[in-house]
Amino acid sequence: MKIGVFDSGFGGLDIFRQIEKILPKYDFVYLGDNARAPYGSRSQETIYQYVTESLDFLFSRGCQLVILACNTASAEALRKVQQAYLPKKYPTRRVLGVIIPAIEEAVQKTKNRKIGILGTESTIQSEAFVAELKKKDSRIRAFQKACPLLVPIVEAGEKDQRIVNLSIENYLKPLVAKNVDTLILGCTHYGLLLNNIRKILAKSNRKILIVSEGKIVAKKLADYLRRHPEIERLLAKNSKRDFYTTDLTEKFRRIGGRLMGRKIGVQKVSLN
């Protein structure tokens, strides 16, 4: 059995790259639903449909455990997947999200209990981050900002740094004004803009800790496997990697290879 990693596009590769560093011996299957990205402006019903179709595919490829390396999917579909879809169709399989690990890290690190969240429109509207932050600490003040341009910028492989930085600066400004001391990058794509975000925050002369999900999710997954030996012992350890996308383009090969630090063989699949 394998570990699946799913995202609506390229962003999940940043998560997978970090997971691979910590768990190199395990077999993985990566799926990017690039043909239908971005998910951020879709309805909850459509996102749930896309996610379950993707899970059907990953489970058919022998995945015992799947990481939803997509905040929109985690915010809009994970609970229903865990409470309705899995018990009915795949009672022995497991699906985990990326929101809780980021929340736990932010709550642990904040000093003034003011936390900023950047996310897609759908993730921000769901208020999933706000709800989970309040569960951890009711004194937390959360400030959100939807960033509809950032996923398309990443997916397009935008080279003009002026465009990239102007967009990021526009989104960060209201959060900096709220005096947040911790910033959650609430979309896996945003980790690919981490250096840009750091440079722009440095100009604000505020010390703001950035919570980017890659390393955090990887560590939490390793811990999950230690705590669940009944799942861990089912997983194959042949260091095998399979990459799939619903829209195989030269851009996927180029950007995917750059993110993984090596050439990757990718197969195109249809999910519906």
Distance CA 30, CA 104 (A): 25
CA 13/CA 7 separation, integer angstroms: 8
Q: Is 147 labeled as catalytic in the residue annotation? A: no
63 is catalytic: no
**Secondary structure (3-state) at 162:** helix
Residue 74 makes CB contacts below 8 A (sequence gap 6+) with: 68, 97, 98, 99, 128
Helical H runs in the chain?
11-22, 44-60, 71-76, 78-80, 86-89, 99-109, 121-126, 128-136, 150-156, 161-177, 194-203, 213-227, 229-232, 250-260
DSSP assignment string, 24-76: TTS-EEEEE-GGG---TTS-HHHHHHHHHHHHHHHHHTTEEEEEE--HHHHHH
Among 5, 70, 185, 221, the active-site one is 70
CA dihedral 115, 117, 122, 123 (to 10 degrees): -70
Among the listed residues 187, 208, 218, 259, the single catalytic one is 187
Please report the sign of the dihedral spanned by the C-alpha atoms of residue 214, residue 171, residue 37, residue 88. positive
Q: Return the active site residues.
A: 70, 187
